[in-house]
Amino acid sequence: MTLPADTAVGPPTLTLDGPVATVRLRRPSQRNSLHDEDLHVLRAHFQRIDADASVRVMVLAADTAGQPRPVFSAGYHVGGFERGEHGPHLFESVPEAIEAMRPVTICALSGSVYGGATDLVLACDLRVARAGSEWRMPAAALGLHYYPSGLRRYVTRLGLARAQRTFLTARALPVEAYADCFVEIADAARFDAAVQELARDAAALAPLAAQATKRSLVEIAAGDWDEARLRERVDLTQRSADFAEGRAAMTQRRAPDFRGR
């Protein structure tokens, strides 16, 4: 499986490769800063992916072609604030949509990340980073209190101490300082392969079990979980054809053929 590249400039693109959907930011000359148009397009792509039951994994990627130093995204395009175009909850709705998505989500962090774009990274289930990239949250340095769901993700994904260090210093830190929130921090030569391997492994999981488990984990982290609801998911997967197929494949020492039912 090869994750597709798209070097054209403009709003994010959506490409499908079997069970893997790739959403790619495409403003490398602007360090992939996110305009309001991009936010609306991202939400539309996520809705389309959610509606396609054949998609088991979504990879969020960025075009860094031509950049002297790779930048995954510089966050929200501040011109939107200055022109008064930005709805107060528009940006927040994008990581919220990522966190709520049905498939397993992977952030392919191919460069440095700043501001609100860091929340897009945290909203994904799994993350791969390119070594040598940096991470910075300058909200307080700009005079801004960050939105609530973003603060929650920072604390639940990174822990209170690192969230405090990130927000209350506004310093640029190496992604290695956040190492345990990444599946892998890979050098430039290995980065694409690391993303492809992770997408392949996630796509090979039983979709009912993987999708139910990811919802339960997010709910538990947010303190918004109900044991009865989680047990319903346990019962659903135990009764599923996929669970029967998984047991049969293990007994027969073959790869399972999961159908999501």
Domain endpoint, select from 203, 222, 244: 203
Co-location of 190 and 211 in the same domain: no
> Do 90 and 168 share a domain, yes or no?
yes
Domain count, the chain: 2
Dist CA 236 CA 231 (whole Å): 8
What is the extent of the structural domain holding 164? Answer: 10-203
Alpha helix (H) ranges present in 100-147? 117-123
Which residues sit opposite 113 in a β-bridge? Answer: 73, 135
Residue 1 lies in a domain: no
Whether residues 71 and 150 fall in one domain = yes
Residue-level pLDDT at 84: 53
Given a contact cutoff of 8 angstroms between Cβ atoms, the answer to whether 185 and 179 are in contact is yes
Angle made by CA atoms 180, 120, 137, in degrees to the nearest 5:
75
> In the chain, which stretches have pLDDT less than 70?
1-8, 79-88
Task: Tell whether the torsion through CA atoms of 36, 89, 157 and 126 is positive or negative.
Answer: negative
pLDDT of residue 125: 98
What pLDDT does residue 89 have? 86
pTM across the whole model: 0.92
Q: Is residue 124 part of a domain?
A: yes
* The pair of three-digit structure tokens given for residue 205, joined into one six-digit string: 């999981």
Q: Are 34 and 116 in contact (CB under 8 A)?
A: yes
Residue 3 located in a structural domain: no
For residue 5, the one-letter residue type is: A
Q: How are the residues of the chain apportioned to helix, strand and coil, as percentages rounded to the nearest 5? A: 50, 20, 35
Give the C-alpha separation, 58 to 239, whole Å: 26
Q: Which pLDDT score, from 0 to 100, does residue 225 have?
A: 87
CA dist 14 and 6 (Å) reads: 10
For residues 155 and 139, membership in a common domain is answered with yes
Q: Are residues 119 and 212 in the same domain?
A: no
**Whether residue 145 is found in the same domain as residue 246:** no
CATH number of the structural domain spanning residue 56: 3.90.226.10
Residues 68 and 132 in one domain: yes
Element (H, E) at 72: strand 71-73
Instruction: Indicate if 148 and 121 belong to the same structural domain.
Output: yes
Confidence at residue 6, expressed as pLDDT on a 0 to 100 scale: 47
CA proximity to 185, closest of 134, 136, 130, 132: 130
- What pLDDT is recorded for position 77? 82
Q: Who contacts 72 (Cβ-Cβ below 8 Å, separation ≥6)?
A: 25, 32, 62, 64, 109, 110, 111, 112, 113, 117, 121, 133
DSSP 146: P
